Each structure stands twice: as C-alpha cells, then as structure tokens.
Amino acid sequence: MTDLIQQAFSLAEEARKNSYAPYSGFKVGAVVKAKGSDKLYAGGNVENSVNGASVCAEITAISQMITKEGKKELDWVLVVSEQEDPLTPPCGVCRQFMFEFSNDENMPIYIYSLSGKHKKTTMGELLPMAFKGKDIILKK
C-alpha cells in the first residue's frame, strides 16, 4: 500500500465512523483524489428516513472535491466498509456519478474492508457501457 493510499484509507475509515446510518447500520467511507493534485477529499454516507434523500459516501467525497477546490476530474476513488466477503463495491448511482467526473474507463477504484482486505478494479470493469454526456442527443 503506497503512502497516499494508506493516508486515503485512514481518511475513509474516519469518514466512515462519522457516517449517519441509523436505518441500515451500514457505514461507508470514501476518499477521492483529484487529477493533478495530491489533495484527498473524504466523505461518508448520510441516510435519511426517505431513502431517496440519502447520499452515498462516494458522492459526498466527490462533492467535497468540487465544492471545496473546484476540481472536476477524478484520478482515483477508494471506498471502505466493514464488509469483507464479498467486499462492497460502489452502487450503480455512484458508479455513474464517478464516471461523470472521470470519463476514463481505466480510472482505478480501490475497494477496502476495515481489516485491510482489498481489491483494485477500474471504472470500466465496474460500469461497462457507461452513459456518457455525448450520448445525450438534443432535439433541435
């Protein structure tokens, strides 16, 4: 584990501790790294009694990257949950959200458990045939 990934794991673990998950009890932390920067942005999931109003950790972290620094392009994403078998990948909404800010099928995604068990995958493996902005056909 590189120093930066170790730092990201620690930040994601802390964000996971601060998650608000009173309904599922399933806390998740995420850290993203912006392209061209060594800054890391962390977020935890925030549930709501109206499930559609809940926000995932990955979206929280990406939103921090955008709103705090104006960065809009991901270099990689790291996700931590307590589940080990199987490791918990980002949900479908998060996959699409991550793709919006990476637009790169080769972008690394690191999936970790609290014990350090992990898997490295890519955006393309998690979201084949991603919906891209260029796929929107506007009628004139």
Active site residues: 58
Q: Exposed/middle/buried for 44, CB within 10 Å: 0-12, 13-18, 19+? A: buried
Q: Exposed/middle/buried for 130, CB within 10 Å: 0-12, 13-18, 19+? A: middle
Task: Give the CB-side neighbour count of residue 14, counting CA atoms within 13 A.
Answer: 10
